[in-house]
Amino acid sequence: MKLELRDIRHVYAPSTPFEVEALRGVSLVVEPGEVLAIIGGTGSGKSTLVQHMNLLLVPTGGEVLVDGVDARSLKQSELRRRVGLVFQFPESALFAPTVEEDVAFAPRQLALSEAEVRERVLESLRALGAGELAARSPFALSGGEKRRAAIAGVLAMRPEVLVLDEPTAGLDPATRENLLALILGLREAGVSVVLVSHDLDEVAEVADKVCALHEGRVRTAGTPAEVFYGDPAQAPATVQVASLLRGSRPEIDNPVRFGETLDALRALQGI
């Protein structure tokens, strides 16, 4: 699916002393099967923005289009099935006695057979490397296991767009790498992924496009190379290293991912 946000504005608590304009006209497109990363400092509007993608928040101005059709004309349940949203620290919403029951909660609302629900649950847990957790209580899991169980609950809806808000915050590096591999696997399967992240090094590894927000507006958007080489001071470490070398060694070009950067550095004469 192609998901398009056009000139989205959002005002919290309008006409009160607490009025805050969190988004001041943001436009972006999520193409089918691409990974779009949304970056920006605390308070830049990232979380507010992604909550518009399934109309969990209704924009004060602007519109959300799903394959060119106004999202407000779709049934809410259909929109939320097709655009799956995983909040920050989603593990705080785990509630069922077993992981399997928890993951089954949403797909069970889809009028599927019990066998089909079960198949989806196990498929989602396996995709997250969490198949062995199915029978356990979500409350007896480690932080990383809980996070994976919570994401599996959204994945079991088989969304066409998966929105992940800071999915790797607080995870250990190995669990984080597994999650990044899952994102690339979903893209392979044609699912679009919107990744909100503070961690530019992880954005560098998985993003096809980057949208940088600042104070509720799009500051820059484009390919990772366009965005990061345009502002190397706020770029992943790979781009920082390469841009420091580009002055005297222009042949290094503009690598972003770790592997590309390592290859470019190894290709330097005399290294």
Partner 1 sequence: MENLGEGTRPCGSFAVSCERVSFSYPGSGRPALSEVSLDLRPGEYVGVVGPNGGGKSTLVRLLNGLLRADSGRVRVSDHDPATEPFEVRKHLGLLFQNPENGLVAPFIEDDVAFGLENLGVPREEMRDRVARAIRAVGLEGYERREPYTLSGGEKQRVALAGLLAVEPEILVLDEPTSMLDAAGRREVLEYLQVLRSEKTVLHVTHHLEELLDSDRILVLNGGELVADETPERFFSNADLLRENRLVLPVVPRLALELGFPPAKLRTAEELAEAILARTQSGTRAG
Query: Considering only residues 163, 186, 236, 256, which one is a binding residue for partner 1 as defined by CB under 8 A?
Result: 236
Q: From residue 121 to residue 160, what is the string marking binding to partner 1 with x (rule CB under 8 A)?
A: ---------------------x-x----------------
Burial 139-175 (b: 16+ CB within 10 A, else e): eebeebbbbbbbbbbbbbbbbbbbbbbbbbeebeeeb
Q: Which of residues 13-72 bind partner 1 (CB under 8 A)?
A: 42
E strand or H helix at 220 = strand 217-222
Residues with Cβ within 8 Å of residue 2, at least 6 apart in sequence:
29, 30, 31, 32, 65, 66, 67, 68
Query: Considering only residues 56, 158, 249, 260, which one is a binding residue for partner 1 as defined by CB under 8 A?
Result: 249
Give the shortest CB-82-to-partner 1 separation in angstroms: 31
Q: Which of residues 164-203 bind partner 1 (CB under 8 A)?
A: 169-170, 172-177, 198, 201
Query: Considering only residues 60, 245, 254, 260, which one is a binding residue for partner 1 as defined by CB under 8 A?
Result: 245
Number of Cβ within 10 Å of residue 28's Cβ equals: 19
Instruction: Confirm if 224 and 53 have CB atoms less than 8 A apart.
Output: no
Give the shortest CB-191-to-partner 1 separation in angstroms: 26
E strand or H helix at 244 = helix 237-246
In the numeric block, the tokens 């959204």 are attached to 154
Query: Considering only residues 30, 125, 238, 256, which one is a binding residue for partner 1 as defined by CB under 8 A?
Result: 238
Give the shortest CB-43-to-partner 1 separation in angstroms: 11
Burial 208-242 (b: 16+ CB within 10 A, else e): bbbbbbeebebbbbeebbebbbeeeebbbebbebb
Q: Is 251 in the site for partner 1 (CB under 8 A)?
A: no
Q: Candidates 10-18, 79-87, 213-221, 245-253 — which segment interacts with partner 1 by CB under 8 A?
A: 245-253
Please report, as ranges, the residues that interact with partner 1 according to CB under 8 A: 42, 142, 144, 169-170, 172-177, 198, 201, 236-238, 240-241, 244-245, 248-249, 258, 261-262, 265-266, 268-271
